[in-house]
Amino acid sequence: MGLDDALIFTRVVECHGFTQAAQNLGMQKSTVSRRIALLEERLGVRLLNRTTRKLRLTEVGQAYYERCRQIMLDFAEAEQAVMQLQQAPAGLLKITTPIEFGQLYLGRVLGEFMRQYPLITAEVELTSRQVDPVEEGVDITIMLGQPQDSTLIARKLFENGRMLCASPAYLEEHGTPETFAELANHRAILLAQDSPRFWPILDENVPCQRVLSCSNITFAREATLAGAGIAGLPRMISAAAVKDGSLVNVLPDARLPVGEIYAVYPSRRFQAMKVKTFLDFLMSSLEAMKTASLEPGR
């Protein structure tokens, strides 16, 4: 049974005839009559007894109508439920995020969002792996850099610059570098993407003495806080420590690579209200944080 046939048959019964049903459906009366005849032929039963003045359901037709009517009610209810989801944020929001971004920002932002929109529930995975939002059914994937898949929509959240940091204890023991030449003599803590031979400074080839390299930025920050050396740390995880004095920004004029953090999602077309509203909320929250202690956008 096709939904079109069920709809036409239901309208004919409820309008007590073909003429009114055709007007209701925006179809020709002859088309409605032909569709009902084809339906009866396909089912191999007579659904309606027709006279010039009246239209009556057969016993089989009555049973068929009751089932079709329930299907139409269920279909209308499903459409209404979808439309209501577009009127106010509701439902399950699935998000994946880099670990540090999730810990420092997303937890607070999502918590506040869920407080304001109590019909939202959420599943969040903090991970360093690459995530395909379409394949995994994720509403929003937060990632470093733009996705390679051009069919995905990428919305830049902020730029995450880096700065050279050291602990006060390290600088007291080894001195504070005032020039790039002096920096070359200091102990280097490097991230996975850094050259093992040079400090990660743009437009400068400053040799480094690598004492530690690691693939996790929080690990690098903790080693720096402990006094192991100087590191080019992302502002996202180091700005608060610089502000409270547990880290020192050395050679603040040095230009280090800037990373970009994006929110990635499958499509703008028919975007769920929960996704659109949260993306706008996330953007405005991060903008407000630019002037707060962590200053992620600087």
- CA 160, 164, 168, 170 torsion-angle sign: positive
pLDDT at 212: 96
Q: Report percent pLDDT > 90 for the chain.
A: 46
pLDDT at 294: 47
- Residue limits of CATH 3.40.190.10 in the chain: 91-160+259-289, 162-249
Confidence check: pLDDT of 180 > 60: yes
Evaluate whether 190 touches 196 at the Cβ level (below 8 Å): yes
User: How large is the average pLDDT for residues 87-112?
Assistant: 90
User: What is the widest separation between alpha-carbon atoms in the chain?
Assistant: 106
CATH 3.40.50.620 fits 3-84, yes or no: no
- Residue limits of CATH 1.10.10.10 in the chain: 3-84
Instruction: List the CATH code of the domain at 162-249.
Output: 3.40.190.10
User: How large is the average pLDDT for residues 95-101?
Assistant: 92
CA dist 264 and 142 (Å) reads 6
pLDDT at 29: 87
Name the least confident of 145-154, 190-199, 205-214, 228-237.
145-154
203-255 confidence digits (pLDDT tens): 899 999 999 999 899 999 999 999 999 999 999 899 989 999 999 999 999 99
Average pLDDT of the residues of the chain: 87
CATH architecture of 91-160+259-289: 3-Layer(aba) Sandwich (3.40)
User: How large is the average pLDDT for residues 14-19?
Assistant: 86
Strands 187-191 and 162-166: unpaired
Residue with tokens 């979808």: 82
pLDDT at 298: 43
CA dist 242 and 164 (Å) reads 11
Which band of pLDDT confidence, cut at 50, 70 and 90, is reported for residue 271? Answer: low
Any idea how long the chain is?
A: 298
DSSP reduced 3-state for 124: strand
pLDDT at 159: 86
pLDDT at 150: 74
49's tokens = 């007894």
pLDDT at 289: 75
**Closest among 156, 128, 110, 112 to 275, alpha carbons compared:** 110
Provide the 10 A C-beta neighbour count for residue 278.
24
Which band of pLDDT confidence, cut at 50, 70 and 90, is reported for residue 2? Answer: low
33-87 confidence digits (pLDDT tens): 899 888 888 888 898 887 767 788 888 989 988 888 888 878 777 776 666 555 6
